[in-house]
């Protein structure tokens, strides 16, 4: 069994999504000690944004130069790493109402026609059925249906819709209201840790 562990917070050791993604990985490892874990920290090693020539090359257009060949090899490695994983755990903070641009750059690399989804006569079809994807999501405020800023929720909704497009219903561990008060922060983290401990591990 292979597990891909992704973090994308820029807040290093103080990151809540990172602490929770590590807790989730430890929970899964406790049930499957032989689990092979690959770790990728997108804040420490950011992926370059997509370029026009990269996208053209993906669709078989243009003649890649040396720099583009290197970028294509990186993109292929990222998508292969993702496809090889049985389980993917993603630490996803909410920044400015959505995912960090570092995580979006990774999403751009794994959204590859013919690999993770395909176009059919009935519309696009996800190719990742069978993969388990768990997101540990952290944010400063509250964005539930009752919240006056509910319409600014583009993180959980986006990640759920994106991975559904690829054929997977993600499991989301949410810690929110982290900047409301120290007590709320502690309560949200404790509740998220409890949820992780109760999740299916194998």
- Residues 97 and 154: beta-carbon distance below 8 Å: yes
- Smallest gap from Cβ 112 to ligand FMN, in A, equals 27
141 touching ligand FMN, by CB under 6 A: yes
Nearer to ligand FMN, 88 or 92 (CB): 92
Among 5, 15, 75, 168, binds ligand FMN (CB under 6 A): 15
CA dihedral 150→154→158→159, nearest 10 degrees, is -90
* CA atoms of 165 and 162, how far apart (whole Å): 5
Smaller CB distance to ligand FMN: residue 109 or 185? 185
**Cα(15)–Cα(103) distance, rounded to whole angstroms?**
15
d(CA 7, CA 18): 6
Does 103 bind ligand FMN (CB under 6 A)? Our answer is: no
Task: Look at residue 187 and give its three-state secondary structure.
Answer: helix
By CB under 6 A, the residues from 155 to 194 that bind ligand FMN are 178-179
Which of 95/163 has CB closer to ligand FMN? 95
CB of 87 to ligand FMN, least distance (A): 20
Shortest approach of ligand FMN to residue 156 CB, angstroms?
11
Verify binding: residue 21, ligand FMN, rule CB under 6 A: no
Q: Find the binder of ligand FMN among 64, 140, 162, 191 (CB under 6 A).
A: 140
109 binds ligand FMN (CB under 6 A): no
Asked if 96 interacts with ligand FMN (CB under 6 A), we say yes
Among 42, 78, 94, 173, binds ligand FMN (CB under 6 A): 94
**Contacts made by residues 45-53, CB under 8 angstroms, sequence distance 24+:** 46/102, 46/105, 47/74, 47/78, 47/102, 47/105, 47/106, 47/109, 48/74, 48/105, 49/105, 49/108, 50/105, 50/108, 50/109
Helix, coil or strand: residue 56: helix
SS3 115: coil
Q: Which residues bind ligand FMN (CB under 6 A)?
A: 9, 11, 15-18, 93-97, 138-141, 178-179
């Amino acid at each position: 069994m292979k597990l891909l562990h992704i973090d994308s917070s820029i807040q290093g050791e103080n990151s809540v999504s990172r602490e929770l993604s590590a807790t989730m990985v430890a929970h899964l490892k406790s049930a499957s000690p032989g689990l092979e874990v690959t770790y990728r920290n997108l804040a420490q090693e950011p992926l370059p944004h997509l370029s026009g020539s990269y996208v053209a090359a993906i669709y078989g257009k243009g003649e890649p130069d040396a720099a583009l060949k290197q970028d294509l090899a990186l993109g292929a490695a990222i998508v292969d790493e993702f496809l090889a994983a049985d389980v993917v755990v993603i630490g996803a903070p909410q920044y400015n109402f959505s995912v960090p641009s570092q995580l979006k750059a990774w999403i751009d690399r794994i959204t590859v026609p013919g690999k993770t989804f395909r176009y059919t006569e009935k519309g696009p079809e996800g190719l990742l059925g069978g993969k388990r994807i768990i997101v540990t999501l952290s944010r400063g405020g509250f964005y539930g249906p009752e919240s006056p800023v509910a319409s600014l929720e583009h993180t959980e909704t986006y990640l759920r819709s994106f991975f559904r497009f690829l054929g997977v219903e993600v499991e989301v561990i949410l810690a929110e209201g982290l900047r409301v008060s120290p007590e709320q922060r502690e309560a949200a983290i404790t509740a998220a840790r409890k949820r992780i401990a109760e999740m299916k591990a194998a």
